[in-house]
Amino acid sequence: MKYFFLFSLLVLPAVIFMVDNGNKMMAYADEDPIDEEEADVEGETEEGDLTATENEEDEDGPQSKASPDADTVLLFTKPNFQGASQLELVAGNPVEFLVGFRNKGPLDFVVDTIDASFRYPMDFNFFIQNFSAIGYNKIIKPSHEATFHYSFLPSEAFAGRPFGLNINLVYHDASGNSFQEAVFNETVQIIEIDEGFDGETFFLYVFLAAGVVLLLVIGQQTLLSVGKKRPAAKKAAPVETGTNNPNNVDYDWLPAQTLASLNKDKSPKSPKGGKPQSPRQRKAKRSTGSE
Amino acid sequence: MADHFLFSVLLLVVFVGLISACTNPQVTSKSFTTQDATIVTHIGFISEFEVKCSSGDISSLYAELPDGSIIPAAVVGTNKYQVSWTEDTKTAAKGTHKIRIFEEDGYAALRKVLRGNEATSSVSEFFNISVVHPGAYSGPWLRSEFIAVIASLFVSYFAVTKKGKIVA
Amino acid sequence: MLQKLAILFAAFTVAICVEEKTGEIQGARLLISKQILNRYLVEGKDIEVRYSLHNIGKSPAVQVELKDNGFNSDAFEVVGGHLSTKFARIPPESNFTHVVVVRPNKYGYFNFSSAEVSYKVSDAPDAQTQVSYSSEPGEGGIVAFRDYDKKFSSHYWDWLAFALMTCPSLVIPLVLWYNSKSSYEKVSKPSKKN
């Protein structure tokens, strides 16, 4: 009985392990192939002897290489590139290239997709940015050739750094063998070109300057009007409470015509002729101040 | 080797045939340029011309574009040719663009001159054609919204000043 | 003189032989891109199609024939340029463009397909003819002119209508005020004169 328990102790983990392993295999099948490649960096050291799935993947790798019957060529059209020096791409400017595909074999080829990606220049397995794969699905008959156009936009944030640019062409032949070829796999430099004169920003600055000037003018105007109003009020105050109108009448409230008629009536009688005109003067000052 | 010899002889015959080249060419050309810069990103310049010779035949023609590049003229019919190029809408200048057309021998001379880094103007052209670009329409000069805003500002200014006068 | 000619002739044949040998490996090779240079595809307005031909080979491409059957004659009207052309010779390591302007008669989605090009890979008389396809611009939606106009026209008439509609609410108070003002001035002026 004891031995039986011991035996079961041995068997049960084994069974669990096997079931677990099966599940793992299913999970692997579901996973994205790109993730698999990314994981490869760690996988080679840590998971040295993985199960059969990993080995199969490794065997798959060399199989999906370029076909000997396909002749591919790459030409950069947007930044003119002669091929002598390192390719320089301008950040923020679209990059365009053409991929030529010539079928030298006896079977039809179908070009599926082209995708570009930026990778870490020290380690091309490390992805920095993936550009979308463009599907072409173009059938190329034997001894025919076709051109494919692809363009992408290097982000402005990447300026001033080298990147590994990988351009991948995926195609398959009529018998169903799939191939993939890296038509470009080099380190490129992403540079920044500062345009000397940008009209848009120039006019933005002009507009800002105009706004500042406008604000200054408005501020000056308000300051001036406030400054004018206050002295006028101060001047007016002693006049109003002054001796000239002992009745304490504020003539401001009276319309001009009434004042005029009042003055007419007053002027012959009053001994001080000039003074009743003062409210009018005040009125005149006010009106200039308020405008 | 024998067929190469034959080919060379053939070539010689062709070259001899070239001597009876086109003389006194009568050229009729028409040009087309895209004029709506609001929907296209580049201005297309297209020139189509027809060459009539009083005698002889025309060899293949080459064109020197305003930017200095030399391209083969497209054959679009018997003695009918097309020369076309594009320029960015911002850089495309309006006015007349002169294109110089060269024959095979002129083209050879041109290549020689280019190899020596000399000015291409020293080579005399077969004939000239011109493409007239009247300028492209790139949207209204003043946006209607802008005009509306200015008008409304004017009206409101008028109203506010009048109101101020009444209140004062 | 004759000797010189003979030498030249010999050199020429040798050159052709050499070219023939290398031509097997490095014949003409054309890359053809077909691009639509439009921001918007609008019914009845220009669509600019640019064919860029790049000869990246070492020998010239001869008897180049470019033909684009992608633009159906009842859906598109060719305004400038020709859709089927020939080039006598494209020198090696050169590129140039061919432009055609078409106007669509209809709106809706349209698949811009590739143009067909055939050329001989070298000057040799027995050079093989290569069939090549240009790049495909892909599917594009051609907008109806009405919709385009709605979005991008200058709207001057719309604003004029708006101004006319806002007129009553602005003009009526103005007229009322002006009437009262003038009547007041009529009253006040005689009083001043008195």
Per CB-CB distance under 8 Å, the chain B contacts of C155 are 144-145
Chain B residues within 8 A of C80 when measuring between CB atoms: 32-34, 44, 46, 84
- CA A92 → CA A151, A163, B40, C135, distances in Å? 12, 15, 21, 24
The chain C residue lying nearest A96, using CA atoms, is: C33
Q: A-chain residues within 8 Å CB-CB of C136?
A: 136, 138, 149
Average pLDDT, chain C: 82
C132–A73 C-beta distance less than 8 A: no
pLDDT at B159: 85
3-state secondary structure of A137: strand
What pLDDT score was predicted for residue C180? 87
**Partner C, chain B 134-163, Cβ-Cβ below 8 Å:** 140, 143-145, 147-148, 151, 155, 159, 162
Structure tokens at A220: 């000056």
DSSP 8-state class, residue B118? -
What are the extents of the domains in chain C?
A: 14-151, 154-193
pLDDT of residue C153: 77
The residue whose two tokens read 């706004």 is: A211
Burial code of B105-126, b = ≥16 C-beta within 10 A, e = fewer?
ebbebbbeeeeeeeebeebebb
Question: Contact, A64 vs A171, CB < 8 A?
Answer: no
Residues in B whose CB is inside 8 Å of some CB of A read: 164, 168
Chain B CB contacts of C158 below 8 Å? 144
Q: What residues of chain A lie within 8 A of the CB of C116, using their CB?
A: none
Closest residue in A to B167 (Cα) is: A290
Q: What is the pLDDT of residue A216?
A: 96
- Is the distance from CB of B43 to CB of B87 less than 8 angstroms? yes
Higher local confidence (pLDDT), C4 or B149? B149
Nearest to C132 among A77, A146, A257 (CB): A146
Give every CB contact of residue C79 below 8 A, 6+ residues apart in sequence. Answer: B32, C46, C101, C102, C103
pLDDT of res. B20: 60
Look at residue A122 in the predicted model and tell me its pLDDT.
Answer: 86
Q: pLDDT tens for chain A, 291 residues: list them.
A: 566 666 666 666 555 555 554 444 444 444 444 444 444 444 333 333 433 343 443 434 444 678 888 888 888 887 776 666 778 888 888 889 999 999 988 889 999 999 999 998 888 888 888 898 888 888 999 989 999 999 999 888 888 888 899 999 999 988 888 998 898 888 888 888 766 667 788 899 999 999 999 999 999 999 998 877 665 555 544 444 455 555 666 677 777 777 787 777 655 544 444 444 455 555 554 444 444
Contact B86 C177 (CB under 8 A): no
CB contact under 8 A, A77 and C35: no
Rounded CA separation B93/C2 (Å):
53
Chain B neighbors of A290, CB-CB under 8 A? 168
Report pLDDT for C66: 92
Rg of chain A over CA atoms, in angstroms? 44
Q: Do C133 and A140 touch (CB under 8 A)?
A: yes
Q: A265-274, B55-64, C122-131: which has the minimum mean pLDDT?
A: A265-274
Q: Which chains border C (3 or more CB–CB pairs < 8 Å)?
A: A, B
CB atoms within 10 A of CB C129: 12
Average pLDDT over residues B69-94: 87
Q: Which CATH superfamily is domain C14-151 in?
A: Immunoglobulins (2.60.40.10)
Q: Cα distance from C109 to chain B (closest Cα, Å)?
A: 17
Chain A residues in contact with B168 by the CB 8 A cut-off are 287, 290-291
Q: Which chains touch B (3 or more CB pairs under 8 A)?
A: A, C
Q: Which ipTM score applies to this complex?
A: 0.74
Beta bridge partners of B88: B42
Contact yes or no for C111/C139 (Cβ under 8 A): yes
Each residue of B15-55: pLDDT tens digit?
544 446 677 778 888 889 888 888 888 899 999 999 888 87
Nearest to C80 among B32, B71, B85 (CB): B32
Q: pLDDT, tens digit, for every residue of C13-35? A: 444 444 444 434 468 888 999 99
Closest CA to C81 of B129, B100, B76, B43: B76
In chain A, domain spans:
2-62, 64-191, 199-290
Is the Cβ pair A147, C31 closer than 8 Å? Answer: yes
pLDDT of residue A244: 55
User: B165: distance to nearest CA of chain A, Å?
Assistant: 9
Task: Please tell me which residue, B20 or C142, carries the higher pLDDT value.
Answer: C142
Q: Looking at the complex, does the CB of residue B36 fall below 8 Å from at least one CB of chain C?
A: yes
Gap between the Cα atoms of B137 and C46, Å rounded: 13
Q: State the nearest Cα–Cα gap between C137 and chain A, in angstroms.
A: 8
A45 Cβ under 8 Å from any chain B Cβ: no
Domain range A64-191, CATH architecture: Sandwich (2.60)
Nearest C-alpha of chain B: how many angstroms from C194? 24
Residue in chain B lying closest to C54 (CA): B71
Q: What is the pLDDT of residue B136?
A: 81
Q: Is A287 on the interface with B (CB under 8 A)?
A: yes
Cα of A73 vs its chain's centroid, Å: 33
Q: Cα(A134)–Cα(A147) distance, rounded to whole angstroms?
A: 14
